[in-house]
């Protein structure tokens, strides 16, 4: 039986297809985004920023506000050691990210709150009293 193989133009270059299915290398590639997915939801009285960051602890996060710029960062270090000196694998883990969001003028900067539950970091940005109830209007593109 003959096995068909696709010719590789540069045999020494890593294959994206092969790396995708290689559990040991795919998620460690620098081209793979390290930024967590973000949702920004507007309610009548507040905006909420949600970041999907499972596996972290509350102490790993830093949420800062400076001159209307909300910065959410996280740093987590882990080392796994095995007592057997003849191990064939030893893993280190270092996860970090930094996201910035320019806040609109109508956010009440003094009453921002954050919580982390079930792998989701939520930052609640209350609207100033005069901005509450403002309805956004969609503009139809012609």
* pLDDT tens-digit map of 73-103: 998 877 666 666 666 666 666 778 999 999 9
Q: Please report whether residue 40 resides in a domain.
A: yes
Does the residue 23 lie in any domain? no
Give the pLDDT confidence score for residue 132 in this predicted structure: 80
Count how many domains the chain has.
1
138 lies in some domain: no
Res. 10 pLDDT band, cuts 50 70 90: low
CATH code for position 93: 2.60.40.790
Per-residue confidence band for 138, with pLDDT thresholds at 50, 70 and 90? confident
Is 20 part of a structural domain of the chain?
A: no
Query: pTM surpassing 0.75?
Result: no
Q: Has residue 141 been placed in a domain?
A: no
Q: Decide if 77 is inside a domain.
A: yes
Nearest of 29, 36, 82 to residue 60 by alpha carbon:
36
DSSP structure string for 2-40: PPP-PPPSSTTSPPHHHHHH-TTTGGG-TTS--SPPEEE
Q: Does 64 map to a domain?
A: yes
Token pair in block for residue 130? 């005069």
Range of the domain at 127: 36-131
Q: Would residue 137 count as lying in a domain?
A: no
């Amino acid at each position: 039986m003959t096995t068909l193989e696709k010719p590789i133009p540069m045999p020494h270059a890593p294959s994206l297809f092969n790396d995708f299915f290689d559990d040991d290398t795919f998620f460690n590639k620098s081209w793979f985004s390290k930024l967590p997915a973000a949702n920004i939801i507007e309610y009548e009285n507040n905006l909420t920023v949600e970041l999907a960051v499972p596996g972290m602890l509350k102490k790993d996060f830093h949420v800062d506000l400076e001159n209307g710029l909300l910065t959410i960062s996280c740093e987590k270090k882990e080392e796994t050691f095995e007592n057997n000196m003849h191990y064939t694998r030893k893993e280190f883990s270092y996860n970090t990210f930094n996201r910035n969001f320019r806040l609109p003028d109508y956010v009440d900067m003094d009453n921002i709150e954050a919580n982390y539950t079930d792998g989701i970091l939520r930052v609640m940005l209350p609207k100033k009293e005069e901005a509450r109830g403002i309805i956004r209007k969609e503009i139809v593109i012609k």
